[in-house]
Amino acid sequence: MNRGYFLLLACIVASLITSGVTAQGQDENWFDDITESVGFDSVPAWRLYVSDVNGDEYPDLMIINGINKRNQLSLWLNLPADPELGTKSDRIFVDFTEESGINANHNPEIDGRVADVGALADIDNDGDVDLVTARFYYNKADYTMPEDEAVVMLNDGEGHFTLMPVSEIATFDKMNATNTAFLDYNLDGKLDLYIGTFSFDHTSVPSIYMPDYLFQGNGDGTFTDVSAASNISSIAQPLYGSNICDWNNDGWPDIITAPYCRTSGSLWKNNGDGTFTDVAKEVNYSSQHRGGDNGQALCQWEAMPADFDNDGDMDILQVLVHGGYGLGEDRTGLAINGGAENNYELTWSLTRIKRSAPSTAHIGDMSGSWIDFDNDGLLDLVINQSQYPQANQAGTERAYFLKQNASNRFDDITASLGLSDSLLAPGASEVIDFDLDGDDDLLIVVNTNKNQNNIIRLLENNIGNQNNWVGVRLKAPENVNRNAIGARIMVTAGGVTQTQELTAGHGHFGGQQPLIRNFGLGTNETIERIVVRWPSLSVEPTIIENPPINQIITIEGNVSSVEEELESTSQLVVTPNPANGRITLHLPVALRHTGSATIVDLLGKQVQSYSIATGLSSVDISVKDLTPGRYIVRIEGEDGMQSCSFILQ
């Protein structure tokens, strides 16, 4: 071998070592289809909303199945499985729809309600997620059942939802919604609501577009229309989705829209004074850079923000239908954020995403999900290509699994995962760490028989736990909305900072991700720090130095109020007790400067130990590897040792 070859090999090895990333080949063991074992056998679905509705920390699932029909909402609770079932997972999903009341109508004589889009968040700041739904219609002829207005439903904390009296969001005749998303646009600690819309009648010539709506939350489950005052209603475009993120790093949430073919979309800059300005042209945000397949106008179905290149600002995955692979044709691509030095201008990039697909395929991409497959600290992608138009005979409609490499480009690994032929014509997907083991699993809606009902698949992640990770759960301080929607979490390990923002409601006809967020650490065995920037003008960022890894940690602001509460007991507390797989240690002040915790059995034998970062008020620990029985947690603090017993079921 020549000297040049050895130099190249040395560079590759050095790159792998310094990046802190394990080199792992892709194979069919990365994901297992566990759909049937968790209770989702042949469950129909269209859009997916992941959220903890009963307060047990595990993510539950709300499903919307189709449009313009009643009784299409279903709610599934994520519960412990019966050990006698012998399933691979220790969690199952149980249909809780009837008990939840989510299909209730204001008219008790009507069975069910039309709900085509929705989102879940704590709008009355009582500690549980509530629900807003709205409806969609394509043209006037489709607008049947006019009594089924947009609604607000409050949660009792256990997953039972009750209709609020007719809300202001229901008073807008024929509001044609394609997306609902929560944000705190004025940072007053009360969640507000943005509703993206389509047209008054899309079949009229010319089409009459509908402006979008912004409703200010009053903190009690009611809303006030501020669409005109905020300038949101000044532009009318037919949308197929929208997303919320802080595009320009100024602490104020901005709004990014995904337009349906006729227009190029908006990027609403939050001015910080209650108003928004559309800066799409100034910063080069558009769905219509060039034409699509055979010159067709491109339809953008999603605008999914993420800091995929770990440079501290939000980039955008623009999911497009009517795309093409030919010269001069556009397709799904990335809008790269130039950061402060470039005034946050976006640069359109098609070359970063490489897919193994026939060059003649008409591309019907309908949705996309950011997910770190192997917890190496680089976000990967799932892009869902479906039947658009329905008569597509190319046979290429499938999910694409795209792994980000060290140069921030995405390689198609679908075939090596054995998933090229099993996830056909997918419409939507959402990440869900359903078992809280630190790696993100994937829910995906597929159509195994063309033009038949779509059904759910749950793919369990088997590769992520081979790298290190940390999960972050936020507990909002005073003056911040209870879910901390809009908070920015920054995790620094190995000199690289990953950034995620908490959202509630996103994408094409809605979707939602869990509020507990996972961060892959690769082979890094320590975290330098975690910084949380809260959505508030009065709360300083929270900084946790050297937190533990491979567990979920709770981070909260306004620690002083928590200290006052705990000082009244000054005792270590373990919840839940009895436990099933996970426990949370609630630390009084005296134990917040210790370095470790140990778990011993009743004979005094140490069975597990954990490090605890300074300043944490609670620590989440997995005990799924222990056998059922009674155990004792011991922690040594400034005022001596404290212990607390718990029962593991």
3-state SS track over 541-552: CEEEECCCCCCE
Tell me what pLDDT residue 625 has.
84
In whole angstroms, give the CA distance from residue 631 to residue 611: 18
- Written as six digits, the tokens of 381 are 């992608």
Q: Is 10 helix (H, G, I), strand (E, B) or coil?
A: helix
Pairing, β 199-201 against β 161-163: unpaired
Burial class (CB in 10 A: 0-12, 13-18, 19+), 597: buried
CA Rg, the chain, in Å?
24
Q: Are 342 and 332 in contact (CB under 8 A)?
A: no
In whole angstroms, give the CA distance from residue 563 to residue 463: 39
Tell me what pLDDT residue 73 has.
97
Residue numbers in the chain where pLDDT is lower than 70: 1-24, 83-89, 173, 358-362, 389-396, 448-452, 558-569, 594, 637-639
| Cα-based distances in Å from 192 to 183, 244, 634 | 5, 12, 43
In whole angstroms, give the CA distance from residue 233 to residue 237: 10
pTM, two decimal places: 0.84
Tell me what pLDDT residue 448 has.
65
Tell me what pLDDT residue 584 has.
85
Q: Are 61 and 163 in contact (CB under 8 A)?
A: no
Q: Which residues pair with 459 in a beta bridge?
A: 33, 442
Residue labelled with tokens 């098609």 = 350
Going by C-alpha positions, the residue among 520, 404, 385 that lies closest to residue 26 is 404
Going by C-alpha positions, the residue among 166, 268, 253 that lies closest to residue 212 is 268
Tell me what pLDDT residue 85 has.
58
Residue labelled with tokens 């699993």 = 441
Q: Which helix (H) or strand (E) holds 565?
A: helix 559-567
Tell me what pLDDT residue 32 has.
96
In whole angstroms, give the CA distance from residue 489 to residue 114: 36
